[in-house]
């Protein structure tokens, strides 16, 4: 059975989508960006700061679904500029220390609101 996931510990949707959808033993988390969940404001700065907040938001959504970063099967990372790959990767590897999930990283040219990074995931649920 399909279950919609929502938590106020991550930014609410800014369009017609859910933070995540849980179905069977999987959770499909929508892309998370550097939006402060309390103020609703975009947190600008470098890609490292934005990656940090995007991963914290992703963790909050996954935990609300009964999962976690350690249960991610596949991550997609979207960068506005591929030149930010190394800075993003330095932060990313602090959140995933072993048994890394599968990952796609692509440069998309430009992103909503001038953001530098967005990260979505598919994770297992116990």
Question: Taking CA 27 as the corner, what is the angle to CA 80 and CA 82, rounded to the nearest 5 degrees?
Answer: 15
The number of domains in the chain is 1
- Of 1, 124, 122, the C-alpha closest to 66 is 124
| Confidence at 116, pLDDT banded by 50, 70, 90 | very high
**pLDDT (tens digit, 9 = 90+) per residue, 58-81?**
999 999 999 999 999 999 999 999
Distance CA 79, CA 101 (A): 18
CATH number for position 38: 3.30.1330.40
Domain containing 70 equals: 3-124
**pLDDT (tens digit, 9 = 90+) per residue, 87-114?**
999 999 999 988 999 999 999 988 888 8
């Amino acid at each position: 059975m399909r279950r919609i996931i929502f938590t106020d510990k991550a930014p609410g949707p800014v369009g017609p989508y859910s933070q995540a959808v849980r179905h069977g033993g999987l959770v499909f988390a929508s892309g998370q960006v550097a939006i402060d969940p309390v103020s609703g404001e975009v947190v600008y700065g470098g890609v490292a700061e934005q990656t940090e907040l995007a991963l914290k938001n992703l963790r909050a959504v996954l935990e609300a679904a009964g999962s976690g970063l350690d249960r991610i099967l596949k991550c997609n990372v979207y960068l506005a500029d591929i030149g930010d790959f190394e800075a993003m990767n330095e932060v990313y590897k602090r959140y995933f220390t072993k048994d890394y999930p599968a990952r796609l990283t692509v440069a998309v040219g430009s992103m909503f609101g001038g953001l530098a990074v967005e990260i979505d995931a598919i994770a297992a649920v116990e």
